[in-house]
A = this chain, B = another copy of it.
Amino acid sequence: MIRDDIPTPALLLDLDRFDRNLRAAAAHVSAAGKQFRPHAKTHKCPEIARRQVAAGATGVVCAKLAEAEVMAASGIPGLLISTEVVGDEKVGRLMRLLDHDPGVLVVVDHPDNVRDLAHAARAAGHVLGVLVDVDVGGRRTGTGPGEPALALARAVAAAPSLRFRGLQGYAGQCAHIVGWAARREAAVKAMTPLIETRRLLEARGIPVEIVSGGSTGTYDIDSDLAGLTELQCGSYCVMDLDYLRIGGRTGDRLTDFEMALTVLATVVSVPAPDLAIVDAGLKAFATDRPFGPEPVERPSVVYEFAGDEHGRLLSRDPRGSVRLGERVEFFPPHCDPTMNLYDRVYAMRGARVEAVWDIAARGKSQ
Contact = CB atoms under 8 A, between A and B. Distances in A.
Interface of A: 4-10, 41, 63-64, 66, 83-84, 86-87, 89-90, 93, 109-110, 112-113, 135, 138-143, 172, 266-271, 275, 277, 279-280, 282-284, 286-288, 305-310, 312, 324-325, 334, 336-337, 340-343, 362-363, 365-366
B8 A271 contact: no
A116 to B, nearest CB: 9
A309 B7 contact: no
Chain multiplicity (copies): 2
Given A89-B7, A288-B287, A308-B63, A279 B324 contact: no
A271 B141 contact: yes
A112 B267 CA distance: 13
Nearest to A82: B309
A325 B284 contact: no
B324 A86 contact: yes
Contact of A271 (B109, B113, B334, B340): B109
B310 A87 contact: no
Given A110-B269, A269-B109, A366 B324 contact: no
12 contacts: A41-B309, A83-B309, A86-B268, A87-B266, A112-B324, A139-B275, A279-B365, A282-B286, A283-B336, A283-B337, A283-B363, A342-B363
B309 A63 contact: yes
The 4 A-B pairs of least Cβ separation, nearest first, read A7-B366, A141-B269, A287-B288, A63-B309
A140 B312 contact: yes
A337 B282 contact: yes
